[in-house]
Amino acid sequence: MSEISRRVTLAWFAAASTGPLVLEGCATAEPMPPAPPPPAAPASLWKDLTLAPVTASGYGHDPNLNKPVIPWPLTLEPQQREVLRIAADMMLPVDAHSPSGAALHLDAFLDEWVSAPYPLQQADRRLILSGLAWLDAESNQRFHVNFAQASDTQRREVFDLVAFRAKVQPGYRRAAQFFVRLRALMLGGFYSQPEGIADIGYKGNVPTSGMYPGPTPEALAHLNAALTKLGLKPVKI
């Protein structure tokens, strides 16, 4: 990895693993629900890939982030990373407040995530890699080029097949699961980064030098308003 070190992605992996965004929807990825899926429509090109299991060991419960030793190798191919960079830009485009998902190396985060030898990550691995293959298959059928070589309009046409729950057609159920899970992982990675934290205006995790000055007037007013609604006495400082 030339643009971002694995020391960074390991810390990122640890932070994102505890967040609700990357855990959201994980139960729908693997295993499939007991009820059988609806029959695939002729246009559906989804195939659940059969992948060799990742057999590397994990890093344990308390990794040393100052001297990281990451026992598992990264597993994504360059073309898969390229598709993830494109998807990151589509899902999290640059705006006035923050850089794009691709600029924040979300493809590196996804590579670290699906290469890790833990049950959740390995369930995601099969879904994400199958989904990347589906993007290429769908793009090739429609436009005769892989997803990465397609135009932005063509890529959005493929995404639109699965991006809106109410519009997902029979046969695209697994592809829609892939899209939902990929989006959750992209958001989890983005909002675990300083740029993402700043984007939502989060003010925590800032050290205070000297004595603690107490809450700001705005924070105290918010607290007291909440206490009053609960029938409790306001705090006086």
Domain count, the chain: 2
pLDDT in the model for residue 150? 97
- Return d(Cα 45, Cα 141) in angstroms, integer: 9
What distance in Å separates the CA atoms of residue 134 and residue 85, rounded to the nearest whole number?
16
Task: Examine the domain organization and report whether 132 and 223 are in the same domain.
Answer: no
Rounded CA-CA distance 54/73 in Å is: 9
For residues 149 and 226, state if they share a domain. no
- Chain centroid to Cα 104, Å, comes to 12
Contact 140, 146 (CB under 8 A): yes
pLDDT for the residue 195: 72
44 and 156, same domain (yes or no): yes
**Separation between Cα atoms, residue 230 and residue 54, nearest integer Å:** 51
Q: Which residues span the domain enclosing 227? A: 213-237
Tens of pLDDT along the chain (237 residues) come to 446 766 566 566 666 665 555 655 554 444 434 444 444 444 569 999 999 888 888 876 666 667 667 778 999 999 999 999 999 999 999 888 888 889 989 999 999 999 999 899 999 999 999 999 999 999 999 999 999 999 999 999 999 999 999 999 988 999 999 999 999 999 888 888 877 666 666 666 667 778 888 888 898 999 999 999 999 999 888
* Cα 58 to Cα 122: distance, rounded to the nearest angstrom: 12
What is the C-alpha separation between 137 and 191, in angstroms, rounded? 31
Which pLDDT value is given to residue 194?
Answer: 73
Does residue 233 sit within a domain? yes
The model carries a pTM of 0.72
Decide if 161 is inside a domain: yes
Examine the domain organization and report whether 190 and 155 are in the same domain.
yes
* Contact present, 139 and 145 (Cβ < 8 Å): yes
155 plus 222 within the same structural domain:
no
CA-angle at 65, arms to 64 and 70, nearest 5°:
80
Q: Residue 58: what pLDDT?
A: 80
How far does Cα 58 stand from its chain's mean position?
Answer: 20
In the chain, the largest separation of any two C-alpha atoms, in whole Å, equals: 69
